[in-house]
Every structure is written in structure tokens, then in C-alpha cells.
Structure 1
Amino acid sequence: MLNLVLFGPPGAGKGTQSEKLIEKYQLVHISTGDIFRAHIKNQTELGQQVSQIIAEGNLVPDSITIAMLEKEIKENSEAKGFIFDGFPRTVAQAEALDAFLTSIGQRITGVVALDVNEEELTQRIAKRQEISGRADDAADKLKKRIEEYFNKTIHVLPYYEKQGKLAKVDGIGEIDTIFQSLTYIIDKY
């Protein structure tokens, strides 16, 4: 089973690249952002909690996120593999994901990080906000999310690097060129 973590700051292109990787490798996409948005849209109890947390620009607590991910994985037990997008964001989440996968006889195959500088991220998300109107792309929340990534989330990379699972790809350039770089690495797995 191919289990990938696609890593990068908000606006790095994880969603775009995930779509292409899902098609090529027939993986199930697990995006915490998509899961949260679905709960918010359907106004579930969890969605209302998540909505308030996100509206304040904060990260959803690990306990909620991990429970939702475990449910998604169990519901797709026949999958050829998974691509995790937007998770894990902390070392504690990475450890919890590893523990859960181990408990079901699985593991993370590899972690690919899209490297994109802060200036490029700001431009991309401003453009995305114009097009989609996503609430989590508002300037004040965006700044907080980017700071959160560079101050906290990026520290997950050494966790996977110690396991020999980390590869980095330049996330600036043409979508197809970035995709080719990703598939070159993933094909080695």
C-alpha cells in the first residue's frame, strides 16, 4: 500500500498536486481541510465546532482531527493507498498517525514536501481568495496560517527525515513540471 504525506504551507499547491497524484496512483485523498469544510457545509455538530475554531484562525485540536482521519481510513479499507494533505501538522499528530497505521498493519511510505517561499504563497492565496472566496484565505487568517506553518508545522519534517522518508520538491514553477518531480520521487517507493 502506498501511503503518502504531501507537505507544504497553505498555498503551496498541495490540493492541485494531490488531484494529479490521486489519478495516477489511484489513491484515496484525505484532506483535513476538505473534511472540515464538508462538516461545516453540512452543519454537523463537529462542523460547528470546527467552524468556530477556523474562524478564529486556530488549528483544530488533534483529538478531533485524528478521530476524523481514522474514520476516513477505516471507511476506505480497500484502497490502494492514501495521500494525506494538510496532516500531520505537528510531531504529536505524526506520531499518532504512525501509531494508528501500525495498529492496522500499515505505515507512511514517504513524505514529499513542496518548498514555496512566503512571498509566492501570499500571491497565490490572494489570487485563490479572489477566485474561490474561501473564508480561510482572508488576509488576517492567511497570515496566521502561514506563520503557524513556518513556526510550528515545519518542525514535522525532521521527524520524517530521521525515518528516511522525506523528499523535497521545488513547489514554484509549472504545475506539470512540479508533478513530474513528484512522480519521479514517488515511483522510487
Structure 2
Amino acid sequence: MRIVLVGPPGAGKGTQAVRLAEKLAVPHISTGDLFRANISRQTELGKLAKSYMDAGNLVPDEVTIAMAKDRMEQPDAVNGFLLDGFPRNVAQAEALDELLRTEKMTLEAVLDLEAPEDEVVKRIAGRRICRKDSSHVFHVAYNPPQQEGVCDICGGELYQRADDSEDTVRTRLEVYHTQTEPIIDYYKSQGLVRTISAMGPVDEVTERALEALKSEQAENH
């Protein structure tokens, strides 16, 4: 299956993308990972992206699209992929359609994870990361440490990332509404969107997503 995953920051896209890709046995293609991989391997695209990022500018669509194209042409993506963080706007969605047409591929579903804005703000603004090991993540409401400000696992100091503050989260949501949300209407016009609630336990959200995709496959066969 070829799937695009969309949803606001804090809806749990990253978590669901990894789980769904594993269940569907397709690669999880995340723009963040693409940038990191190309920059660390010092590919031409990586060097180009880094030059924009170092100057504090957004990486142009064509560079992102070229990286995505390169990744989608890898052998492990022949039978499908799950795109996370791409396309980020309508221009990228149109470029993806063009790319898939050229490669004689079709997109089968766009999974839209929905979560109320206040919940998203609460989820992100409550996150606390360990300074010693950033994989140790806590939450002031949902997963509090035993001792405030101290990591249960290694005793490191817990802190709130600058881009997790409430003001920054609301700004990120504003960017999502103006730039990314329009792709949902773009794909709705193609009959591809399956909207599911991102609320509740992680396992339940994964099950909902798989059910939505199953109904999509059933309709197409």
C-alpha cells in the first residue's frame, strides 16, 4: 500500500507511522529521516538542503521532492510506502501526484489523524526530555517522573524543549492549518482521505487506522 499520513503536531503521527509501516510491511518514509540521512551521507541533495538550513531558510519544495523521489525508488519501497511529513503543502502534493503518475504508481489512502487543538497543546507542552538521553521522554500529566525534573531511568535533568512551549506549539499549529491542512481537501477531491481519531491509547489508534485502511483496500478490490 502507498499511504500518506497527515495530522497536526502532537497527534502522534511519528508513533503511528512506525507501527503502521511495520504492520503493513512497508518502509516508513519520514522527511526528518530523509534530511538526516542525506546530510549525514553528504549526498548532493543533503549538501543543498544543509546550505539552506544553515542559512536559517526553509528547504525548497524541489529539494524535498527530489529526496522523497530518490527514497521511493529504493528496492524496499517497490510494494508500497508510508509517507510521514510529506507532502507538507498542496504544491508538494501535486508534485507527488506527478511523480507517481510518471512511475505508474497510485496513492491508495491518505490517513488523517484528528485531535482537538487543546489536547494537542497539552500533549506537546507537557513533554519533558532527559538531557542525558533524549530517548527518555516523560509527560507532566500522562507519564510524570517519580521526582519532578529528574529522569527515572538515569537521573538526568528533565527539561522542556524550546519548540515545545505552549506559544511555539500554537504557532506550529497555525502553520499546519495554513500550509498542510489544505492538502486534506486536495486529497478529499480524489476520494482518498480516511479520517480517524488520534485520541485514546496508542494501540487503539493503530487498530482504528488499520480498520480504515482495510475498508479502503476492500473498496479498491
- The TM-score, its normalising length taken from structure 1, stands at 0.85
Among 159, 163, 166, the alignment partner of 1:137 is 163
Q: Say if 2:156 is the partner of 1:149.
A: no
Q: CA deviation at 1:144?
A: 3.1
More helix by share: 1
- The equivalent residue for 1:32 is 31
SS of equivalent residue, structure 2 residue 95: helix
Q: Deviations over 1:165-188 (max 9, x none)?
A: 011001111111111110001112
Q: Which whole-Å CA distance do the structure 2 matches of 1:73 and 1:33 have between them?
A: 15
Q: CA deviation at 1:23?
A: 1.2
Q: CA deviation at 1:158?
A: 0.8
Q: Structure 2: which amino acid aligns with 1:46?
A: L
Q: Which whole-Å CA distance do the structure 2 matches of 1:175 and 1:30 have between them?
A: 20
SS of equivalent residue, structure 2 residue 20: helix
Task: Point out where structure 1 has 5 or more consecutive residues left out of the alignment.
Answer: none
Structure 2 CA distance for partners of 1:48 and 1:16, relative to 1, 3 Å = same
> Considering only CA atoms, is the larger Rg found in Structure 1 or Structure 2?
2
Q: Structure 1: which amino acid aligns with 2:104?
A: G
Q: Which whole-Å CA distance do the structure 2 matches of 1:66 and 1:134 have between them?
A: 32
The share of aligned pairs that are identical, in percent, is: 39
Q: CA deviation at 1:151?
A: 1.8
- The equivalent residue for 2:199 is 172
Instruction: Indicate if the aligned counterparts of 1:37 and 1:47 stay in contact, CA closer than 8 A.
Output: no
Q: 1:22-101, aligned counterparts within 5 Å?
A: 22-39=21-38, 44-49=46-51, 51-52=53-54, 56=56, 59-76=58-75, 79-101=78-100
Size of the aligned set, in residue pairs, is 185
Compute the RMSD of aligned alpha carbons: 2.5
Task: Point out where structure 2 has 5 or more consecutive residues left out of the alignment.
Answer: 135-158
- The TM-score, its normalising length taken from structure 2, stands at 0.74
Q: Which whole-Å CA distance do the structure 2 matches of 1:23 and 1:178 have between them?
A: 15
